[in-house]
Structure 1
Amino acid sequence: MKKLFFTAALALSLASCSVTVPVNATSNPVGSKVGSAATTSIFGLFFDGGDASIKTAAKKGGITKISTVDFKATNYLFIVGMYETIVTGE
């Protein structure tokens, strides 16, 4: 029984949670270009200095007319958080 409990606790502790949500959509047609920008934090306090802005994501993808903007957040053990902005357009 202890082995089963330990295995279940280990599996839960190693699990991650990832959520992607739409932030904005424009009337521009959906383009073929995709750009993303990301940053990482530890305990939600210490950030790696990354820039997860819409402007940076569009610049990295070579996008001048934004169609959609999505935001993705991934959390590992409530310790490390990764945040990504995803932009599509032309």
Structure 2
Amino acid sequence: MKKFALIISVALLLSSCAITLPVNATSNEVGAKVGMAKATGYLNVLCFDCDASIQKAAKQAGITKISTVDFKQTNMLGIIQTYECIVTGN
């Protein structure tokens, strides 16, 4: 029984949650360029170099006509949160 409890405890500690959601789509063609902007926060308080904006993602890939925008959020035990903006276009 102790082994089972230990296995469950380790599994819960190592678990995380990630979700990707569509934010916006335009009538522009889906382009070959993909830009990403990422921000990481710690304990919902600390954030260093946090700019996960659509503008930064588009600029990073040289996109002038945005086709789609997706948002990905990853959470590890509420300690580390990662936010990522994914932009596609030409």
Structure 1-normalised TM-score?
0.97
Matched, 1:53 2:35: no
Residues 1-90 of structure 1 correspond to what in structure 2 (within 5 A)? 1-90=1-90
Query: What's the CA shift string for 1:28-54, capped at 9, x where partnerless?
Result: 010000000001001111111221000
Query: What's the CA shift string for 1:54-73, capped at 9, x where partnerless?
Result: 00000001100000000000
Percentage identity across paired residues of the two chains: 57
Structure 2, unpaired ranges of 5+ = none
Structure 2-normalised TM-score?
0.97
Segments of 4+ moved more than 3 angstroms: none
User: How many residues are aligned here?
Assistant: 90
Structure 1, unpaired ranges of 5+ = none
